[in-house]
Amino acid sequence: MRRVAVIGVGDTKFGELWDASFRDIGIRAGLAAVEDAKISAEMIDAVFVGNMSAGRFIEQEHIGALIADYAGLARDHIPATRVEAAGASGGLALRQGFMAVASGLHDIVVVGGAEKMMDVSDIASSMIQSSASDQEWETELGATFASLHALIARRHMHEYGTTREQLADVAVKNHKNGSLNPKAQFQREINRDVVLRSPLVADPLRVFDCSPSSDGAAAVVLCPLDDAKKYVETPVEIIGSGQASDTLALHHRRDILTMDATRIAAKKAFKRAGLEQKDVQLAEVHDNFTISEILAIEDLGFFKKGEGGKATEDGRTALDGEIAINTSGGLKARGDPIGATGLAQAVEVVTQLRGVAGKRQVKDASVGLTHNVGGTGATVIVHIFRRS
Amino acid sequence: MRRVAVIGVGDTKFGELWDASFRDIGIRAGLAAVEDAKISAEMIDAVFVGNMSAGRFIEQEHIGALIADYAGLARDHIPATRVEAAGASGGLALRQGFMAVASGLHDIVVVGGAEKMMDVSDIASSMIQSSASDQEWETELGATFASLHALIARRHMHEYGTTREQLADVAVKNHKNGSLNPKAQFQREINRDVVLRSPLVADPLRVFDCSPSSDGAAAVVLCPLDDAKKYVETPVEIIGSGQASDTLALHHRRDILTMDATRIAAKKAFKRAGLEQKDVQLAEVHDNFTISEILAIEDLGFFKKGEGGKATEDGRTALDGEIAINTSGGLKARGDPIGATGLAQAVEVVTQLRGVAGKRQVKDASVGLTHNVGGTGATVIVHIFRRS
C-alpha cells in the first residue's frame, strides 16, 4: 500500500447558510481544496462524497454525480461515489479516498462532505437525525437522538460520578475554541451558567449540551505522499485509518458507557500508524453531545474510563492542555452539518499540523487525530495525521 | 492488484414482499450468499451495501451498520459501508467490494444491495425515484423519471427510425426470460399487443415499457481468486470493472441518445479484462425502460448506434441470439428494487457462468457483463465476469 498525503483543504463557514444551496456549498468547499492544493481539475481521478440524508433534507439523492457535475468534472466522466454512515459519512468518505490512493487505484482524489439541514423544520430535522438510530427498535418507540445520549449521560454520572458541571465544561471549552475560529457557527464564549440554565432537552442534557443543526461543507485533496511535495510545502500524511461497527440500537451493546467501535477503530488506526496515544497533540472528536466528548476521550485511550469529565474540568483537554480536544470548536461550536463533519475534522487537523491555525494554534503540533461517529456509535471512523 | 472471484451468490424473490421488512430481505440475501460460498460469518472482513433511498422509503439511514448488525456481524465490529448512486447503487457497492479485495485490504467481503419500495404510495415512490435526477433543473420543473426517458425514446425513433413495436419487443423478450426465472417479479409471457394497449405513462412509453417498483435484495461474496477454489468448484472471476459519471441533468449532455458514461465505463472494463464485445455471451443491462435497453446494447458496443431496436426485433438479443440480453428478465420482468438491482445482475451472470440457470441457461456461456445505471446515465458501472 502506498503512503497517502493531504495536499489541499477547503471548507465553508458552518451555520444557517440561507443564501446557498446544497450544491453551492459542496462546490465551494471542493474548489477551495483544489485551489489550496494548487492542482487543476483535469488532474482529478475520482471524487468521494460523504452525505447523510440529502434525500430527506433536500429531496435529492445521487449526490456523488451531482457534486462531480456541478464541479465541472462530468465533462471528464470521472468516477464519483457517495458513501453514507449517518454522522460518520464524512470520515467514511475520507477512508474510501484514502484506500483508493493507498491501493494505487487512483492518484489524485478529492473527498468532500456536505449537508444542508436548515431547509426543513426543526421537527423534521430531528426526525431525520433519528434515522441514524434503529428505526424499528428506537425511533418508532419515541427514542430521539438526544434522549439516547441522555441515557448514556445519566448512567455515566451514576457509574463514575461525572457531574452536571463537567458536562457543561465540555461546551464551555468548545465554545471558547469556536470563538477563535472564523468558520465556526458559534463564535461566542459561554460559561457554565449559560449551559446549566439553558432549556432542558432530555434530562440531564440541555440545549447547550447539544450540537446545532447546520449547513456546511468541507473537502480535502489526497495524493500519494511521494508526489505531495510537488504541490505543497507542508504535506500532511494520513498515517492511520480505522473503521468499526457496532449494533445500531444502544440497548444491544455490551456496555452503553463504552463505544466499542471507537476502541477498535482507534486500535486499528494506532497500529497502522505505529504510534501511541501519548504521541498525539490534538484530536477532533465527535462531540454531538457533551457526554459524547467524554466517552470519546476515554474510549480513544487519552484518559481512563470514567475520568473524562474530571480531565475536562481540570483543563487537560484545553488548547494548552496535555491534549487539545476539538480545537475547531467541535461539533458543538464549529457546527455539525452531518455529512461534512468528518471532513471538517480533517481540515482542522491539517490546518493545525501546517501551523496556520491562527489564534487557536496548538504549539508544536505534529500528530493529530480525527474521530467521527455515526448514530450512537454503530459506525466509528478514526484517522491519524502527521506533519510530513 | 489481486485477481478477485465471486464465490457466493444469494437473492430474494423480487416483488411485493409484504411479509418482510427491509432488514429481513437484506439479511436473507446476505445469508444465502454466505451459505452458497460455504464460509462462516467469522471469516467476513467487511460489508458493502448498495441502497438508494432507505431514508425516504423506510425512514432509515445508516444502512451499512444496520445490515451488519442484523446479520450478526456487529459482534465482530467489522467495517460496514453503504454507497449510493441512485439506480447504480448496487453496482457501485460491488465495485467498492471488488477494489477492497483487489487492493489486498480485505480478503473476504460480502456485498449486498436492497431496497424496500412498496411501503410508500405510488406517488411517493415516483417522487423518490425522481431524486436520481437533477432536483433543481428537472424534478422541480415537473420532469418525471419516465418523461425524461420518453424524450430519449421519441428522439431515438425520430433519429434512427426505431419503431414503437421494437420498443415493445424489448418488454416481450424480457417477460419471456422472466417467465423462466422463479425469482422474477413477473413470470408471465406477454405479446406486443399487451404492451401497445397498456396505459400511456409518458408518450411514447406505456406501462409495459417501464420496470416496476419492487422490494428485494441480492448479495455476493468475494475473495481473492487464488483462494476461491477452497470454497467453491466453479469460481467466477471479475475480470473487468469500470465506473463513469456524466451530468445529472439530461439536457446538459452532448447527445441524449448516447450514454457517454456507459461507453466510458465499458471501455475501462473491457480494457482491464483484455476482451472485446464479441467475447461476451450474455449481459444484464439496465432496462429500467424499454428504450434504456436499446441505448445500452448500442453504447456497450454490442450493436451499432441506431440499430438496437432492429437487433431486438430480429431476435439477436434473445436467449438463443448472438448475445443474450437480460436473461434474468431484466429490471422489466425480474423487477427493480433499486439498490438491489446491480447485485441481482451479478447474481444472474454468475448463475449463468456456473451453468445452473435452468430453463433460461445460455449455452456455453463463459463471459458475462453487467451494466448498472444511476439516473438517466449520470453514473454507470460495468463489470465483466469469466468462468474460472
Q: What is the CATH number of the domain that holds A296?
A: 3.40.47.10
Q: Check CB contact of B174 with chain A, cutoff 8 Å.
A: no
- Minimum-distance CB partner of A55 among B83, B131, B139: B131
CA distance B194 to B213: 19
Regarding whether A95 and A172 lie in a shared domain, the answer is no
Regarding whether A181 and A313 lie in a shared domain, the answer is yes
CA distance A290 to A166: 9
Find cell 470521472 and name the residue: A78
Find cell 429490471 and name the residue: B331
Cell of B188: 408471465
Tens of pLDDT, residues B86-142: 999 999 999 999 999 999 999 999 999 999 999 999 999 999 999 999 999 999 999
Mutate to test the interface with A, among B84, B250, B253 (most CBs of A within 10 A): B84
Using a CB-CB cut-off of 8 Å, the residues of chain B touching A131 are 55, 59-62
Please judge whether B379 and A65 are an interchain contact, meaning their C-beta atoms are less than 8 angstroms apart: yes
Q: Residue A263 to residues A137, A242, A373, A379, A381: CA-CA distances in angstroms?
A: 25, 10, 12, 11, 10
Q: Is residue A130 part of a domain?
A: no
Instruction: Find residue A221's DSSP bridge partners.
Output: A8, A110
List of chain A residues with pLDDT < 70: none
Which residues have CB under 8 Å from B193's CB, separation 6+? none
Please judge whether A56 and B60 are an interchain contact, meaning their C-beta atoms are less than 8 angstroms apart: no
Mutate to test the interface with A, among B67, B70, B77, B272 (most CBs of A within 10 A): B77
Q: Is residue B39 part of a domain?
A: yes
Task: Work out the angle at residue A181's Cα, subtended by the Cα atoms of residues A175 and A183, and round it to the nearest 5 degrees.
Answer: 110
Q: Is residue A134 part of a domain?
A: no
SS3 label, residue B11 = strand
Regarding whether A169 and A297 lie in a shared domain, the answer is yes
CA distance A56 to B59: 9
Name residue A73's amino acid. L
Q: Check CB contact of A99 with chain B, cutoff 8 Å.
A: yes
Q: Is residue A79 part of a domain?
A: yes
Using a CB-CB cut-off of 8 Å, the residues of chain B touching A77 are 244-246, 260-261, 264
User: Tell me, what's the pLDDT at B113?
Assistant: 98
- Res. B62 pLDDT band, cuts 50 70 90: very high
* CA nearest neighbour of B381 among A230, A81, A98, A364: A81
Find cell 462532505 and name the residue: A113
What does the mean pLDDT of chain B come to? Answer: 97
Regarding whether B322 and B175 lie in a shared domain, the answer is yes
Tens of pLDDT, residues B305-362: 999 999 999 999 999 999 999 999 999 999 999 999 999 999 999 999 999 999 999 9
Using a CB-CB cut-off of 8 Å, the residues of chain A touching B127 are 59
Percent above pLDDT 90 for chain A = 98
Mean pLDDT calculated for residue range B291-307: 98
Regarding whether B108 and B155 lie in a shared domain, the answer is no
Boundary residue ending a domain (B197, B228, B259): B228
SS3 label, residue A37 = helix
CB atoms inside a 10 Å sphere around CB B119:
15
Backbone dihedral region of A335: left (phi > 0), alpha (psi from -120 to 50 degrees) or beta? left
Boundary residue ending a domain (B174, B195, B228): B228
Question: Residue B145 above 90 pLDDT?
Answer: yes
For residue B199, give the DSSP letter.
P
Q: Is residue B258 part of a domain?
A: yes
Residue A304 in contact with residue A297, Cβ under 8 Å? no
Q: Check CB contact of A61 with chain B, cutoff 8 Å.
A: yes
CA distance A253 to B280: 49
Using a CB-CB cut-off of 8 Å, the residues of chain B touching A251 are none
Q: Check CB contact of B1 with chain A, cutoff 8 Å.
A: yes
What is the Cβ-side half-sphere exposure of residue A86, based on CA atoms within 13 angstroms? 31
Regarding whether B251 and B189 lie in a shared domain, the answer is yes
Regarding whether A204 and A156 lie in a shared domain, the answer is yes
CA distance B203 to B151: 8
Q: Check CB contact of A71 with chain B, cutoff 8 Å.
A: no
- Res. B72 pLDDT band, cuts 50 70 90: very high
Which residues have CB under 8 Å from A140's CB, separation 6+? none
Q: Is residue A127 part of a domain?
A: no
Regarding whether A77 and A15 lie in a shared domain, the answer is yes
Tell me whether strands A80-84 and B80-84 are parallel, antiparallel or unpaired.
antiparallel
Using a CB-CB cut-off of 8 Å, the residues of chain B touching A249 are 69
Q: Check CB contact of B86 with chain A, cutoff 8 Å.
A: yes
- Say if the ipTM goes beyond 0.90: yes
Using a CB-CB cut-off of 8 Å, the residues of chain A touching B1 are 103-105
Q: Check CB contact of B100 with chain A, cutoff 8 Å.
A: yes
Q: Looking at the 3D structure of chain B, how many domains does it have? A: 2
Backbone dihedral region of A274: left (phi > 0), alpha (psi from -120 to 50 degrees) or beta? left
Q: Check CB contact of A374 with chain B, cutoff 8 Å.
A: yes
Regarding whether B220 and B180 lie in a shared domain, the answer is no
Residue B101 in contact with residue B221, Cβ under 8 Å? no
Residue A168 in contact with residue A310, Cβ under 8 Å? no
Could you tell me how many residues make up chain A? 388
User: Closest approach of chain B CAs to the CA of A309, in angstroms?
Assistant: 27
Regarding whether B135 and B266 lie in a shared domain, the answer is yes
User: Tell me, what's the pLDDT at A1?
Assistant: 86
Residue B375 in contact with residue B248, Cβ under 8 Å? yes
Which residues have CB under 8 Å from B247's CB, separation 6+? A69, A74, B253, B378
Q: Which domain holds residue B351?
A: 128-211+239-387
Residue B253 in contact with residue A69, Cβ under 8 Å? no
Q: Check CB contact of B243 with chain A, cutoff 8 Å.
A: yes
Mutate to test the interface with B, among A58, A243, A245, A263 (most CBs of B within 10 A): A245
Regarding whether B203 and B82 lie in a shared domain, the answer is no
What is the Cβ-side half-sphere exposure of residue A54, based on CA atoms within 13 angstroms? 33
DSSP string computed for A232-247: -SS-EEEEEEEEEE--
User: Closest approach of chain A CAs to the CA of B246, in angstroms?
Assistant: 5
Q: Is residue B116 part of a domain?
A: yes
Question: Residue B1 above 90 pLDDT?
Answer: no
Could you tell me how many residues make up chain B? 388
Q: Is residue A104 part of a domain?
A: yes
SS3 label, residue A285 = coil
* CA nearest neighbour of B145 among B320, B356, B378: B378
Q: Check CB contact of A104 with chain B, cutoff 8 Å.
A: yes
Name residue A226's amino acid. D
Tens of pLDDT, residues A165-207: 999 999 999 999 999 999 999 999 999 999 999 999 999 999 9
Regarding whether A218 and A294 lie in a shared domain, the answer is no
Please judge whether A62 and B247 are an interchain contact, meaning their C-beta atoms are less than 8 angstroms apart: no
User: Tell me, what's the pLDDT at A88?
Assistant: 98
